[in-house]
């Protein structure tokens, strides 16, 4: 199994994320599961969760399944959120693609957080936020989402006071 092999800087992942990544499966330390290892297969029990990066409010856990979200390459992350977890309004410089694996992920658009203006996405749902689109989210029940895209993955909060890196 791979342990957490990398801590990403401020301008990195979900930065959803997701700036610290835990890697699942395999015996070698690499940037993700692909590298020179060939075909990537990761079973749920093989995922090694690590603490959320500084760009996310505390309480989330992250695992990098493939790639390196800090580079201009494809990446796949899993993000585990506790019940009630909130991500304040933010935007990304690249497209963000989210698939709900477990729980209910509620997503809203705009510069102000409002639970009433979110759409509840149950397991199996997919959402795509184009680059620079302002959005926010919250979890109902323990929630796991898979985030994928082309990096580098960064998170920019609409209100600087919401940025956990500044606290």
Give DSSP secondary structure letters for 44-102. Answer: GGG---EEPPTTS-TT-EEEEEEE-TTSSSEEEEEEEE-TT-EEEEEE-SS-EEEEEEE
Q: How many domains does the chain have?
A: 1
Structure tokens at 74: 């494809």
- Mean pLDDT throughout 101-124? 98
Which domain, by its residues, includes 126?
Answer: 6-162
Is 167 part of any domain?
Answer: no
Q: Taking all residues of the chain, what is their mean pLDDT, rounded to a whole number?
A: 83
Mean pLDDT of 12-20: 34
Determine contact, residues 121/101, Cβ cutoff 8 Å.
no
Confidence label for 37 from pLDDT (cuts 50, 70 and 90): low
Domain containing residue 28: CATH number = 2.60.120.10
| pLDDT at site 5 | 27
Residue 42 has pLDDT above 80, yes or no: yes
Alpha-carbon gap, residue 78 to 100, rounded angstroms: 10
Residue 1 lies in a domain: no
Give which of 109, 110, 105 is closest to 85, Cα–Cα.
105
């Amino acid at each position: 199994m791979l342990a957490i092999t990398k801590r990403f800087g401020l301008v990195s992942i979900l930065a959803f994320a997701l700036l610290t990544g835990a890697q699942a499966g395999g015996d070698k330390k690499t940037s993700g599961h692909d590298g020179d290892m060939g075909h990537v297969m990761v079973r749920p029990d093989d995922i090694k969760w690590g603490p959320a990066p500084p760009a996310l409010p505390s309480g989330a856990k992250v695992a990098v399944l493939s790639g390196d979200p800090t580079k201009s390459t494809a990446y796949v992350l899993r993000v585990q959120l506790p019940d009630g977890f909130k991500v304040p309004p933010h935007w990304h410089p690249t497209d963000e693609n989210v698939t709900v694996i477990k729980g209910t992920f509620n997503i809203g658009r705009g510069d102000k957080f409002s639970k009433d203006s979110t759409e509840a996405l149950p397991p199996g749902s997919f959402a795509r936020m184009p680059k620079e689109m302002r959005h926010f989210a919250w979890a109902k029940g323990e929630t796991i989402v898979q985030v994928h895209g082309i990096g580098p993955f960064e998170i920019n909060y609409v209100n600087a006071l919401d940025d956990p890196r500044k606290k």
